[in-house]
Amino acid sequence: MKTIEKYLINSGIKPSYQRIRILSYLMDKKNHPTVEMIHKELLHDIPTLSKTTVYNTLKQFVEKGITQIINIEDHKTRYDADISTHGHFKCLNCNKIYDFRFDNKSLEISDIEDFDFLQTHLYIKGICKKCKYLLNNKN
Amino acid sequence: MKTIEKYLINSGIKPSYQRIRILSYLMDKKNHPTVEMIHKELLHDIPTLSKTTVYNTLKQFVEKGITQIINIEDHKTRYDADISTHGHFKCLNCNKIYDFRFDNKSLEISDIEDFDFLQTHLYIKGICKKCKYLLNNKN
DNA sequence: TTGTAATTTTGTAACGATTTCAAAATTGAA
DNA sequence: TTCAATTTTGAAATCGTTACAAAATTACAA
């Protein structure tokens, strides 16, 4: 049995063909896709794949804790199978989303000392290195 | 002329009645409202107020940099007239959104060293102090 | 292997937040 | 006061997402 099937079973999810393919897509591409992107891409291989299945599957992945939601865009949800604590940078020029690491421990927070933290989401927007270079040299 | 009118003019926005009222609402309540909340509330005083006006106005406020978008919810946009760098905590029990301060300087970030940072959004989700207390004592 | 129940997938319709757009109302300058 | 420019309004359209019931698939007992 493939690793990914074991991973699904260990997470309490029956490894149906669609679920395996959707999780594989997330893990291989690491591109923080929208539902639209996943559906469009997998439709090439699974012509009957319904968008509802993609929604249901991702919802289940999030509930079981093997996928996290990224709300860096204004109106559409993106998904990430990397559930480790890390940040997301969105380039406002090329719209690419980059992963980055940050030290959660060093984060100095005031005002909410006695609160229980369950999830930390850090989103930074700006201009990525590539675009910075391109923009500087296009005169 | 009122301070808020001056503030709008200085930001390049003509201080119409609706704009003044919407900005006042944001500044007075500090409650990170949705469009729905602003519209519903102001409708008491301005019965003709259209939801489109609220949308248009907030879009303009964001473009002119006097309001920031908060994407801590999955599907609806919240707005904040406090444009200083600060974080938002959402209690998963009572759904209240709290402001908190954090030290941007102390944040240790890797992998995106040469990127230009324009906006930093820090969202933490968990259980607030009040709910923690209530949940612990309800047996 | 067959029959049946449970689960999963599918497609359509509905929903809610947001945007588009043109008409109506208001404002500002001549 | 007049006319053009700006702002507001409300209806329709759009887009992402959810609800739901039927169809397909899977699991399992007989």
Of the candidates A71, A106, A118, the beta carbon closest to that of B71 is on: A71
3-class DSSP string for chain B: CCHHHHHHHHCCCCCCHHHHHHHHHHHHHCCCCCHHHHHHHHCCCCCCCCHHHHHHHHHHHHHCCCCEEECCCCCCCEEECCCCCCEEEEECCCCCEEEEEECHHHCCEECCCCCEEEEEEEEEEEECHHHHHHHHCCC
Yes or no, beta carbons of B118 and A127 under 8 Å apart: yes
Instruction: Provide the CATH number for the domain around residue A103.
Output: 3.30.1490
* 8 A C-beta contact, residue B137 and residue A132: no
Same domain? For A16 and A72 the reply is yes
From first to last of its 139 residues, what are the pLDDT tens digits of chain B? 789 999 999 999 999 999 999 999 999 999 999 999 999 999 999 999 999 999 999 999 999 999 999 999 989 999 999 999 999 999 999 999 999 999 999 899 999 999 999 999 999 999 999 999 999 986 5
DSSP 8-state secondary structure symbol assigned to residue A54: H
Q: Per-residue pLDDT tens for A14-47?
A: 999 999 999 999 999 999 999 999 999 999 999 9
Longest dimension (CA), chain A: 56
| Bridge pairing between strands B116-127 and B87-91 | parallel
Same domain? For B110 and B53 the reply is no
Same domain? For A47 and A106 the reply is no
Yes or no, beta carbons of B69 and A71 under 8 Å apart: no
Same domain? For B131 and B106 the reply is yes
Which whole number is the average pLDDT over A68-81?
Answer: 96
Same domain? For B93 and B54 the reply is no
Q: Is the CB of A53 under 7 A from strand C?
A: yes
Yes or no, beta carbons of B109 and A92 under 8 Å apart: no
pLDDT at A82: 97
Same domain? For A58 and A96 the reply is no
Same domain? For A111 and A131 the reply is yes
- CA–CA dist B78, B30 (Å, integer): 11
Q: Is the CB of A52 under 7 A from strand C?
A: yes
Q: Per-residue pLDDT tens for A94-136?
A: 999 999 999 999 899 999 999 999 999 999 999 999 999 999 9
Same domain? For B42 and B17 the reply is yes
∠ Cα A52 A22 B74 (to 5°): 60
Instruction: Provide the CATH number for the domain around residue B48.
Output: 1.10.10.10
* Structural domain containing residue B23: 3-80
User: How far does the CA of B19 sit from the C1' of D19, in Å?
Assistant: 38
Same domain? For A42 and A110 the reply is no
Q: Is the pLDDT of residue A139 over 70?
A: no
Task: Decide which of B50, B80, B110 is a domain's last residue.
Answer: B80
Could you tell me the pLDDT band of residue A2, with boundaries at 50, 70 and 90?
A: confident
Same domain? For B9 and B73 the reply is yes
CB count within 10 Å of CB A29 equals 13
Q: In A, what residues contact B, Cβ < 8 A? A: 69, 71-75, 77, 87, 89, 91-92, 98-103, 106-112, 114-129, 132
Per CA to C1' distance, which residue is closest to C20?
B52
Same domain? For B43 and B97 the reply is no
pLDDT at B139: 59
- Count of domains in chain A? 2
At B9, give phi and psi (nearest 5°). -60, -45
Same domain? For A7 and A74 the reply is yes
Task: Decide which of B58, B80, B102 is a domain's last residue.
Answer: B80
Q: Is the pLDDT of residue A1 over 90?
A: no
